[in-house]
């Protein structure tokens, strides 16, 4: 490495970073100095940045890459309008000076958002080319290169041809216009009712956009699915437009959740009936208004006739009537309607069956710019559920998966739970909708059932907290979701490894332990909360902590844990087999039969599909009661192990984030024990069986646990 | 076994026992039906009870034996005034009809309280003879036979010649006249301010006397050593006399704690100076008054010039002056003075040294009916202390050990702690006072230093609770103390085994587990409270729970934990070696040198005698900090194990006592974790070292623990 004039500058520039508190605000885009051997290696291979073209997005890519290179290597990249040896080249594929480096087929294959990232021969040496059909592709390719540099990967022989699996890769913010966030555990909304400080807010939005672009997320719904009609007033449309202007150069579109009764509430229309001419006109006008200010507006997300939200059924119309009317208003502008299938009503029908029952009759009746947004499981974002039977079954209408990143049912922002394994489990579940290998991923990404646009969404875990997500490790869920939305075939441990390197350090002993913790974390939560297919044992309404005993006079039965666990002296579990609710019938053969038979039903879903006696003999040879005990205890042991593993890393990373995670892990263990004791002591009142003697005794009393009243104010 | 007319009676008589709740009120005198094979074996060998003589005590022995035999075998003993084959014979040795069965030497050897228990040939068969020089000896022999029957021992070839090691075997009740009990955790006093129900109270006193007689305790101090002068009013002397009348037939003498300033307070004397003639006369008159009503009154227990109590030093006199004056008043009646050596004052002198410093100068100056009562350790009834250096050193004055059964520093009545191992540790400690084998036992039981009367005392753990001691297992401490006072050479596990069989069941699987728990229990407490020689880390004044950080403005320094642990960044422990307080000098060689040298000082007393740096390398190879961590954690693991072992016994004994102990063990584990976390997190603020990574993480926060305020009302 040669000495050059940039050195002094680098040094001065970097100083402020070194003294800055490590508060997690930089997410995985930290660009901390790499180990000297890695940094100097990059400096030897890369010297200049050639930008062939001119656009705001290209500028962003160029700036990000320069900032990253400076931070990582301690040395600036010289920019140039021509490339040579040791250049990084950012170029539209249409630029003739690079066209020799790829084929037309390759170009076609990367599509509108993909890129080529390739080492090309230049002079006697080589250069790195990032080429794409669009600025967006170049931006994504640039972030991929940055990731390679951040994670210390070799860059001398690059050869990547990438394009996303899903067309629309969204975050859903459940943010209310008053600034609160439904199920938000990282502070108030970054979008609404933000105290005025335009510069700070703007920087926050830029950083948000950078983070999303870096993982490939290309759309965001700025308001809660339980939508206020106000969002469609001129005032709010203008606010959406302002955010859209900031996010646009990062290839991030804004979407809006809309309330189906908006025409009535906002403009006094007599009805919101989707077949009413006035209503149709009203929505068309609104769409026009929006596109007038936001030409690339993404579309509407709609929660209709669900948990008290208005919808077409209020007027004797169907989901298809409602969705198609909105779709028609958006269609001329290229917008989509994401219509949620999360519907259930107080009835004798098993709640897990209702979405399927309500939507399947309309399969094929939806407009081509309607996508049905289906939660990954048939109930509600539990630590573990089987996949929703709508996947694979809806073959004439595009279905999109909705995941939840905010940990409504997984310990809020206090529990370390790497959710990518849960998502992967869903992606890889074989629906058998079109025979073997009809995975949920294939039924939704367009590869099995053709659709105009394939899509995926996740409920964001983002708020005003300095570290964005409340828990340092919750950032990994934002990160990994984006990466999986881009390519659901990526390996989970690889994703974890990338994130750990980018977020913390390249030191292998740290990476090994922390990746191990992450990979085990979701199963730990399942074990200490809801093992063996149990679900929804959480406290009523707030969903924090265990309340399997919960009784709320007047509450909907299907919001109470006893509806789901059905524990009695006879046994435990929800019989959804052919002797019970017959929910198994919503699955294709041979899954249907597999789930239906308690002998073949996988242990991890056993009590989801079956009600079994406490002394039921499990495959392990243990009784059901014993197996339940062992799972709950194993969950706690895992959290203790996480603490030990983390503590062993003291001194490797900054003290601020180390202490933050340490404190969170302590809470997690405490709450895991709370879960274990609460569930086992409560179920024991029915099983009348002892906790196996090899196991530590519960430390709580059931009566004492029942008295705990959760105060939401502690968590928002 | 032949059918006889007693059967129906037995059956009817036993019924009420069967339906009675097992509340622990019967202590170890339960006389539950033995297994059929054991019972019938006894019935084959024993048929009649022959009582040769007539006295209240003999009647008691006879009644107890009949009740026991009926309960244990389901069949009554016929009584007779003559003996034959299959008789049990209770007889004074002076009765000519039994004199052929022993030698004069044997008779001499059993003394005033001992007995012969012997199978003798009668006709073509045999009988069981209990013979003694006194009624008391017969009573003790009878209880020994009952114990053999209760524990299922063979009785066909008995040969026991027994006499007690100590002459005076006392309980000290720290009971105040208002009915409260200082350091009492089993309800209010059974002696004072008892709500009137003479019959119930009388039965309680009878049961108390039976229990004591059954283990050989022959004296009891009915009031607190922090004595009210009121106890010497006529009213209270009469009350003492009434109790004495009940206890007398059980060979149980009453004693009284007296307040040294009584003459001033009660009768307005100008002084309580022990050399003042009026004072001397006053005490002599009091002694005469007492003996007028209680001819076998035992004597006075005195806490003088200690923790604010008045004493001879208030008048410029010495402990010897004070004790001898009282001794002179009692001497004509055969009474003794037990003068406590538990003295220390706010000074620069190590509190552990003060009793020795204050008493050694007077060795040999005390009257021959004065006994110096010395707590087993030099500080104050800690989970572990070295023995008091007064043992072995006071060679001209009898010293008696004072143990504490009430668990002031060992978890109150919530922790299972079998204290016999602590007592044994003290008994067997070699003082080297007269060379090797000068154990504390030998220096106090009269075998090494001649004394008119040898004595031993223990602070009682008895109150009005139905189960007497608060914790079912605390009864074992009453039991084992009495047995060890009789014979300090008895094996601890044997004692535990006896007690378990008598109190619970003969089932071997129960006995094995429970004896194991008991034998490990005291060391567990040491580990989770004060391992490695630490001491007095308990909360100020109440002594409940850990407060190593405790600071009380204006409190005596030597009542605060920091006085004892002396933790700082330099290290931890009280340097009592020659570089520190030189307390080691109060011990004889080679103990002095052994304790003085940190290399030879036993680990379990290391921080009692040494202040060592946190990274001090222990014999184990671990640092001091690590070793401390491992000990605290081991203590918690033991309590968890106790829970598991106990739970494994579900169904073997009655549900009432099973549940009682189960609940107590749960509290114990919870509090053990509290102790572990509090001490380690606090000490960690000095050590700055991590808790070893193999260990579970603390579940508490130091700040949260510091906020716990103990409310005594929960525990009395």
User: What is the dihedral sign for C-alpha B88, B94, B98, B100?
Assistant: positive
Interface of B with A (CB under 8 A): 640, 643-645, 647-648, 650, 665-666, 669-670, 673, 690-691, 693-699, 701
pLDDT at B17: 42
Residue A189 contacts residue A173 (beta carbons within 8 Å): yes
Compute the distance between CA of residue B278 and CA of residue B271 in angstroms, rounded to an integer. Answer: 9
pLDDT over threshold 50, residue B11: no
Partner-chain contact B690 A650, CB within 8 Å: yes
* Same domain flag for A689 and A629: yes
Chain A residues whose CB is inside 8 A of the B696 CB are: 640, 643-644
pLDDT at B14: 42
Residue B147 contacts residue B214 (beta carbons within 8 Å): yes
Is B76 within the bounds of a domain? yes
Is B512 within the bounds of a domain? no
Compute the distance between CA of residue B283 and CA of residue B297 in angstroms, rounded to an integer. Answer: 15
Query: Which positions ≥6 away from B236 have C-beta within 8 Å?
Result: B177, B230
pLDDT at B348: 86
CB neighbourhood size of A89 (10 A): 26
Helix A56-73 with A198-215: angle, nearest 10 deg: 80
Residue B396 contacts residue B356 (beta carbons within 8 Å): no
Is B509 within the bounds of a domain? no
pLDDT at A710: 73
Is A408 within the bounds of a domain? yes
Compute the distance between CA of residue B199 and CA of residue B182 in angstroms, rounded to an integer. Answer: 26
Residue B85 contacts residue B50 (beta carbons within 8 Å): no
As given in the structure block, the two tokens for residue A330 are: 């958006």
| 3-class DSSP state of A667 | helix
CATH of the domain at A229: 3.20.20.80
pLDDT digit string (tens) for A549-562? 998 888 888 889 99
Choose the catalytic residue: A36, A307, A570, A704. A307
Compute the distance between CA of residue B120 and CA of residue B435 in angstroms, rounded to an integer. Answer: 43
Residue B159 contacts residue B148 (beta carbons within 8 Å): no
Cis? peptide before A590, omega within 30° of 0: yes
pLDDT at A20: 58
Comparing CB atoms, the residue among B648, B666, B697 nearest residue A693 is B648
CATH of the domain at A646: 3.90.1330.10
Q: Which residues of B555-581 are buried (b: 16+ CB within 10 A; e: fewer)?
A: eeebbbbbbbbbbeeebbbbbbbeebb
Q: Which of B663, B675, B697, B699 best probes binding to A when mutated, by most A CB atoms within 10 angstroms? A: B697
Q: For B696, which residue in chain A has the nearest alpha carbon?
A: A640
| 3-class DSSP state of B356 | helix
Residue that is last in its domain, among A162, A188, A207 = A162
Q: For A696, which residue in chain B has the nearest alpha carbon?
A: B640
Q: For A649, which residue in chain B has the nearest alpha carbon?
A: B693
* Same domain flag for B155 and B287: no
* Same domain flag for A172 and A246: yes
Comparing CB atoms, the residue among B640, B695, B699 nearest residue A670 is B699
pLDDT bin (cut points 50, 70, 90) of residue B6 is very low
pLDDT over threshold 60, residue A9: no
Chain B residues whose CB is inside 8 A of the A697 CB are: 640, 643-644, 647, 665-666, 669
pLDDT digit string (tens) for A147-176? 999 999 999 999 999 999 999 999 999 999
Q: How many domains does chain B have?
A: 3
Among B577, B540, B579, B534, residue whose Cα is nearest residue B353: B577
Is A278 within the bounds of a domain? yes
Mean of per-residue pLDDT scores for chain A? 94
pLDDT bin (cut points 50, 70, 90) of residue B20 is low
Strand partners, A512: none
Residue B248 contacts residue B296 (beta carbons within 8 Å): yes
- List the single range of A104-113, A458-467, B549-558, B561-570 with lowest mean pLDDT: B549-558
pLDDT digit string (tens) for A629-681? 999 999 999 999 999 999 999 999 999 999 999 999 999 999 999 999 999 99
**How far is C-alpha A548 from the geometric centre of its chain's CA atoms?**
27
* Same domain flag for A559 and A655: yes
Comparing CB atoms, the residue among A643, A691, A699 nearest residue B670 is A699
Full DSSP string of A313-354: GGGT--HHHHHHHHHHHHGGGT-EEEEE-----SSSS-HHHH
Average pLDDT over residues B227-256: 97
Number of H helices, E strands in chain B: 22, 14
Is A281 within the bounds of a domain? yes
* Same domain flag for B43 and B96: yes
Q: For B641, which residue in chain A has the nearest alpha carbon?
A: A696
What does the DSSP 8-state code read for residue A100? G
pLDDT at A711: 60
Q: With pLDDT > 90 as the criterion, what percentage of chain A qualifies? A: 91
Compute the distance between CA of residue B514 and CA of residue A109 in angstroms, rounded to an integer. Answer: 74
How many residue pairs bridge chain A and chain B with CB atoms within 8 Å of each other? 50
What CA–CA distances, in Å, run from B300 to B168, B308, B357, B428?
A: 13, 19, 24, 28
pLDDT at B5: 45
Helix A234-247 with A198-215: angle, nearest 10 deg: 60
Is A220 within the bounds of a domain? yes
Residue that is last in its domain, among B133, B162, B191 = B162
As given in the structure block, the two tokens for residue B463 are: 């109150």
pLDDT over threshold 50, residue A353: yes
A307 flagged as catalytic: yes
What does the DSSP 8-state code read for residue B557? G
Choose the catalytic residue: B408, B465, B547, B558. B408
Residue A100 contacts residue A118 (beta carbons within 8 Å): no
A541 versus A567: which is more confidently predicted? A567
Among B4, B2, B79, B75, residue whose Cα is nearest residue B34: B75
pLDDT digit string (tens) for A253-286? 999 999 999 999 999 999 999 999 999 999 999 9
Compute the distance between CA of residue A69 and CA of residue A6 in angstroms, rounded to an integer. Answer: 13
Task: Provide the ipTM.
Answer: 0.71
Residue that is last in its domain, among A162, A190, A220 = A162
Q: For A672, which residue in chain B has the nearest alpha carbon?
A: B699
Q: In B126-175, which residue ranges form alpha helices assigned H by DSSP?
A: 135-150
pLDDT digit string (tens) for A307-345? 889 999 999 999 999 999 999 999 999 999 999 999 888
Given strand B78-80, what is the order of strands in its sheet? B78-80, B48-52, B87-92, B125-132, B115-122, B159-162
Q: With pLDDT > 70 as the criterion, what percentage of chain A qualifies? A: 96
pLDDT at B102: 96
Compute the distance between CA of residue A575 and CA of residue A339 in angstroms, rounded to an integer. Answer: 30
Chain B residues whose CB is inside 8 A of the A669 CB are: 697, 699
A699 versus B384: which is more confidently predicted? B384
Give the pairing type, strands B159-162 and B168-172. unpaired
Is A41 within the bounds of a domain? yes
Helix (H) or strand (E) holding B676: helix B655-687
Among A57, A52, A56, residue whose Cα is nearest residue A113: A57
Q: With pLDDT > 90 as the criterion, what percentage of chain B qualifies? A: 91
* Same domain flag for B133 and B40: yes
| 3-class DSSP state of B49 | strand
Choose the catalytic residue: A113, A402, A408, A671. A408
Please state the φ and ψ torsions of residue B92, each to the nearest 5 degrees: -65, 145
Compute the distance between CA of residue A493 and CA of residue A491 in angstroms, rounded to an integer. Answer: 6
pLDDT over threshold 70, residue B297: yes
Average pLDDT over residues A292-315: 96
Mean of per-residue pLDDT scores for chain B? 94
* Same domain flag for B215 and B288: yes
Given strand A159-162, what is the order of strands in its sheet? A78-80, A48-52, A87-92, A125-132, A115-122, A159-162
Compute the distance between CA of residue A234 and CA of residue A369 in angstroms, rounded to an integer. Answer: 25
* Same domain flag for A189 and A266: yes
* Same domain flag for A146 and A94: yes
Q: Which residues of A600-633 are buried (b: 16+ CB within 10 A; e: fewer)?
A: ebeebbbbbbbbbebebebeeeebbbbbbbbbbb
CB neighbourhood size of B598 (10 A): 15
pLDDT at B13: 44
* Same domain flag for A156 and A239: no
- List the single range of A672-676, B82-86, B163-167, B449-453 with lowest mean pLDDT: B449-453
What domain range is B10 assigned to?
6-162
Among B484, B489, B502, B486, residue whose Cα is nearest residue B153: B502
* Same domain flag for A190 and A132: no
Average pLDDT over residues B650-677: 96
pLDDT at B712: 53
As given in the structure block, the two tokens for residue B449 are: 């230093």
Partner-chain contact A669 B640, CB within 8 Å: no
Q: With pLDDT > 70 as the criterion, what percentage of chain B qualifies? A: 96
Among A642, A640, A641, A658, residue whose Cα is nearest residue A650: A658
Partner-chain contact A697 B673, CB within 8 Å: no
pLDDT digit string (tens) for A568-588? 999 999 999 999 999 999 999
pLDDT over threshold 70, residue A3: no
Residue B49 contacts residue B65 (beta carbons within 8 Å): yes
Average pLDDT over residues A219-228: 98
Interface of A with B (CB under 8 A): 640, 643-645, 647-648, 650, 665-666, 669-670, 673, 690-691, 693-699, 701
Among B339, B380, B237, B349, residue whose Cα is nearest residue B297: B237
Compute the distance between CA of residue B283 and CA of residue A128 in angstroms, rounded to an integer. Answer: 108
Q: In angstroms, how far is the first alpha carbon of chain B from the final one?
A: 50
| 3-class DSSP state of A572 | strand
* Same domain flag for B101 and B197: no
- How many CA atoms lie less than 13 Å away from A416 in the CB half-sphere? 30
Residue B174 contacts residue B183 (beta carbons within 8 Å): yes
């Amino acid at each position: 490495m040669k000495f050059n004039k940039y050195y002094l500058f680098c040094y001065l520039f970097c100083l402020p970073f070194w003294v800055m508190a490590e508060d997690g605000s930089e997410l995985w885009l930290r660009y901390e100095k790499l180990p000297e051997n890695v940094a100097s290696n990059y400096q030897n291979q890369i010297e200049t940045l050639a930008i062939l073209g001119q656009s705001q997005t290209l500028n962003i890519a160029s700036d990000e890459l320069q900032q990253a290179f400076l931070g990582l290597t301690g040395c600036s990249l010289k920019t140039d309008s021509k490339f040579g040896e040791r250049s990084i080249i950012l170029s539209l594929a249409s630029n003739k000076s690079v066209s020799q480096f790829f084929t037309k087929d390759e170009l076609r294959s990367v599509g509108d958002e993909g890129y080529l990232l390739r080492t090309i021969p230049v002079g006697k040496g080589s250069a790195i080319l990032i080429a794409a059909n669009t600025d967006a592709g170049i931006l994504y390719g640039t972030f991929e290169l940055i990731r390679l540099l951040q994670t210390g990967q070799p860059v001398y022989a690059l050869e990547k041809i990438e394009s996303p699996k899903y067309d629309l890769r969204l975050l859903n913010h459940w943010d209310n216009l008053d600034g609160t966030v439904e199920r938000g555990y990282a502070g108030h909304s970054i979008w609404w009712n933000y105290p005025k400080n335009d510069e700070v807010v703007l920087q926050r939005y830029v950083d948000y956009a950078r983070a999303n672009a870096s993982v490939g997320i290309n759309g965001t719904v700025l308001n809660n699915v339980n939508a206020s009609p106000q969002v469609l007033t001129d005032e709010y449309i203008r606010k959406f437009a302002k955010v859209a202007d900031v996010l646009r150069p990062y290839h991030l579109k804004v979407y809006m959740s809309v309330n189906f009764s908006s025409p009535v509430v906002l403009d006094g229309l007599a009805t919101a009936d989707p077949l009413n001419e006035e209503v149709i006109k009203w929505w068309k006008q609104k769409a026009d208004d929006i596109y007038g200010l936001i030409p690339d507006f993404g579309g509407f997300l709609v929660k209709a006739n669900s948990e008290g939200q208005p919808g077409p059924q209020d007027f004797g119309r169907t989901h298809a009537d409602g969705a198609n009317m909105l779709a028609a208003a958006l269609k001329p502008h290229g917008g989509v309607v994401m219509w949620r299938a999360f519907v259930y009503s107080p009835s004798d029908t098993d709640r897990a069956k209702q979405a399927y029952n309500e939507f399947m009759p309309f399969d094929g009746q939806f407009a081509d710019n309607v996508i049905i947004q289906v939660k990954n499981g048939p109930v509600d974002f539990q630590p573990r559920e089987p996949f929703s039977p709508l996947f694979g079954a809806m073959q004439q209408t595009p279905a999109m998966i909705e995941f939840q990143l905010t940990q409504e049912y997984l310990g809020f922002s206090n529990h370390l739970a790497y959710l990518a394994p849960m998502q992967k489990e869903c992606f890889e579940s074989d629906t058998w909708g079109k025979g073997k290998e009809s995975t949920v991923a294939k039924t939704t990404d367009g590869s099995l059932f053709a659709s105009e646009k394939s899509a995926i969404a996740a409920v964001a875990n983002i708020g005003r907290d300095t570290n964005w997500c409340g828990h340092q490790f919750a950032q990994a869920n934002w990160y990994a979701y984006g990466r999986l939305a881009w390519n659901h075939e990526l390996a989970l441990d690889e994703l974890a490894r990338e994130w750990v390197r980018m977020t913390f350090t390249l030191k292998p002993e740290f990476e090994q332990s922390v990746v191990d913790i992450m990979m085990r974390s979701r199963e730990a939560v399942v074990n200490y909360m809801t093992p063996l297919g149990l679900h929804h044992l959480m406290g009523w309404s707030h969903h924090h902590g265990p309340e399997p005993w919960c009784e709320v006079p007047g509450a909907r039965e299907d919001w109470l844990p006893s509806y789901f666990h059905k524990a009695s002296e006879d046994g435990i579990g929800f019989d959804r087999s052919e002797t019970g609710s017959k929910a198994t019938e919503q699955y294709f053969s041979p899954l249907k039969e597999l789930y239906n038979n308690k002998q073949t039903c996988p242990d991890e879903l056993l009590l989801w599909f079956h009600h079994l006696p406490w002394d039921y003999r499990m495959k392990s040879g243990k009784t059901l009661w014993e197996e339940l005990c062992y799972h709950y205890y194993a969950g706690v042991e895992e959290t203790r192990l996480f603490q030990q593993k983390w503590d062993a890393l003291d001194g490797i990373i900054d003290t601020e984030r180390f202490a933050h995670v340490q404190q969170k892990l302590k809470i997690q263990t405490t709450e895991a024990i709370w879960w274990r004791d609460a569930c086992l002591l409560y179920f024991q009142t029915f099983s009348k069986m002892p906790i196996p003697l090899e196991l530590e005794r519960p430390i709580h009393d059931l009566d004492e646990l029942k008295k705990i009243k959760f105060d939401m104010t502690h968590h928002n």
